Amino acid sequence: MKTYRIACIPGDGIGKEVIPAGQEVLAALAAARGDFGFDFESFGWGGDWYRRHGAMMPADGLDALRNKDAILFGSAGDPDIPDHITLWGLRLKICQGFDQYANVRPTRILPGITTPLARCKPEDLDWVIVRENSEGEYAGVGGRAHQGHPLEVATDVSMMTRAGVERVQRFAFKLAQSRPRKKLTVITKSNAQRHAMVMWDEIAREVARDFPDVSWDKELVDAATARMVNRPASLDTIVATNLHADILSDLAAALAGSLGIAPTGNLDPERRYPSMFEPIHGSAFDIMGRGLANPIGTFWSCVMMLEYLGEDAAAAALMSAIESVTANPALHTGDLGGKAKTVDVTRAVIDCLAAGVNGNRRAA
The smaller minimum CB distance to Mn ion, of residues 246 and 278, is found at: 246
Candidate residues 47, 136, 260, 265; the one interacting with ligand NAD per rule CB under 6 A: 260
- d(CA 56, CA 61) in angstroms, rounded, equals 10
The smaller minimum CB distance to ligand NAD, of residues 42 and 161, is found at: 42
Partner whose footprint covers residue 46, from ligand NAD, Mn ion, none (CB < 5 to 8 Å by kind)? none
The smaller minimum CB distance to ligand NAD, of residues 11 and 232, is found at: 11
Partner whose footprint covers residue 246, from ligand NAD, Mn ion, none (CB < 5 to 8 Å by kind)? Mn ion
* All residues at 6 or more sequence positions from 280 whose CB lies less than 8 Å from its CB, including other chains: 105, 249, 250, 253, 259, 262, 263, 264, 297
The DSSP output letter for 7 is E
- d(CA 279, CA 262) in angstroms, rounded, equals 6
- d(CA 267, CA 130) in angstroms, rounded, equals 10
The pattern of x and - marking residues 220 through 259 that bind Mn ion according to CB under 5 A reads --------------------------x-------------
Radius of gyration of the chain (CA): 21
Partner whose footprint covers residue 259, from ligand NAD, Mn ion, none (CB < 5 to 8 Å by kind)? ligand NAD
- d(CA 94, CA 98) in angstroms, rounded, equals 6
Task: Name residues contacting Mn ion, limited to 256-285 (CB under 5 A).
Answer: none
Nearest approach in angstroms of CB 333 to Mn ion is: 20
* All residues at 6 or more sequence positions from 286 whose CB lies less than 8 Å from its CB, including other chains: none
φ, ψ for residue 123, nearest 5 deg = -75, -10
Name the amino acid, one letter, at 110.
L
Task: Name residues contacting ligand NAD, limited to 269-308 (CB under 6 A).
Answer: 278, 281-287, 293-294, 297
Nearest approach in angstroms of CB 78 to ligand NAD is: 7
Candidate residues 221, 333, 341, 348; the one interacting with ligand NAD per rule CB under 6 A: 333
Task: Name residues contacting ligand NAD, limited to 51-110 (CB under 6 A).
Answer: 75-77, 83, 87, 91
φ, ψ for residue 263, nearest 5 deg = -110, 165
- d(CA 216, CA 224) in angstroms, rounded, equals 14
What is the contact surface with ligand NAD in residues (CB under 6 A)? 14, 75-77, 83, 87, 91, 259-260, 278, 281-287, 293-294, 297, 333, 335
